[in-house]
Amino acid sequence: MEIGFKQREQTDCTDSSSNSKQETASQKRLKNFEVTDSDREDYHNLVDILFVIDTTGSMSWCFQEAKNTVKDIAEMFNKQEFDIKYALCQYRDHPPQESSFVYQHNDLQGSQSMQGILGNLQAQGGGDGPEAVMDGLYEGINKTNWRKDHDGTISKRFIFHICDAPPHGNLYGGYSSDQNWQKNGCPCGITAEMIKNQLEEKQITYNLIECGGICKMEEVFRSVFGKRFEETIHISQSQIQQQQCSFSYSSVPGSFGAFPSSIPVPLNVAASHVPKPQSMLSDGHYFIGYSLGFSGPAQMTQPVTASFSGLFSSPPQAPQQQQQQQNLYSHQVQQNLLRNLK
């Protein structure tokens, strides 16, 4: 069986959602699946799917769309009358960046059970920009009991990886707050080559559902995974329904006074200001973080902490100089928001 998606152009670490003429996520995802009778024979009608999902706070803006994508995948296969089972591995980050868990795994089960698990997923926490991507993939692959028929015929096997951040390490282009993680990669020690070996050994096809901000991860994974990397679906902010919500934040203390605490803005405008929180970039510059909160659509009720990525950066300075710059940046952020709201 061949699985294919329309491939998007390679993008950098910033959000690549500016093309409003793109197909919506609902139109684009899954439309190129093709199944033949020979595929059914080759795999004895068995299909196993592992969903690997980033459930950190920055996924809040696209979390409902990500859940919908998972449901669409399940419905598509169910309609084709496969003997299909689903596993799920959600991940966040390593302590001290995240204290809840690094990853949690649910083994193969039927569609109804999986829908119940999906309904209980929450996007929260996460710490610095990069996440425990390698743990989610590697542990998800190894803890899933991929099926074999009685004669040894293996199931057709897929991974759908839904995320908005790269793994730790310079190779992937993000910035980890722990310099050892930045230099050496994920503290678990898992590498892309190790994941590739598991994909090859277990004959699994990897597919990426990207929600923005993954930096160089797709490029690296394509290079390392080779033929095991199939396609990418891109969920962009412009593809999420533009509902109204309240956008509130607490600004860096400065001499410009208080900014209004709650401003009604389109959801896509609010979401455009929710990149991964980070305080320092790999080049020695820094971003000032702001506390953001959402209310309105049900899928946006999780509180999010984020920085206004791209609005301001400055070379490292002495503390008194930093405070002066923060006062200036506070004003710049206010002006930027006002321009977006006009």
Which domains are delineated in the chain? 25-239 (3.40.50.410), 244-341 (no CATH)
Higher pLDDT, 239 or 316: 239
Q: Which residue has the higher pLDDT, 210 or 18?
A: 210
CA distance linking residue 76 with residue 31, whole number of Å? 9
Question: Measured between alpha carbons, how far is 81 from 89 in angstroms, rounded to an integer?
Answer: 24
Over residues 23-78, the pLDDT tens digits come to: 444 444 555 555 566 777 888 889 999 999 999 887 877 777 777 877 887 777 77
Q: What's the pLDDT at 176?
A: 79
Task: Evaluate if residue 128 carries a pLDDT over 60.
Answer: yes
Residues 308 and 330: beta-carbon distance below 8 Å: no
Helix-strand-coil percent breakdown of the chain, rounded to 5?
35, 20, 45
Q: Which of 17-26, 181-190, 241-250, 325-334 has the highest mean pLDDT?
A: 181-190
Q: Any idea which residue has 């803006």 for tokens?
A: 61
pTM beyond 0.85, yes or no: no
Residue-wise pLDDT tens digits, 252-291: 333 223 333 333 444 444 444 443 333 333 333 333 333 3
d(CA 51, CA 232): 14
Separation of alpha carbons 265 and 270, rounded Å = 7
- Using one digit for the tens of pLDDT, what is the confidence trace for 137-170? 999 999 999 999 999 999 999 999 999 889 998 8
Say if CB 334 and CB 304 are below 8 A apart: no
Instruction: Classify residue 311 by its DSSP letter.
Output: T
Q: What is the mean pLDDT of residues 225-241?
A: 76
Specify the pLDDT at position 289.
Answer: 38
The position carrying tokens 């934040």 is: 249
90 near 137, Cβ under 8 Å? no
How far is CA 336 from each of CA 13, 81, 264, 310, 326, rounded to the nearest angstrom?
Answer: 21, 52, 15, 11, 15
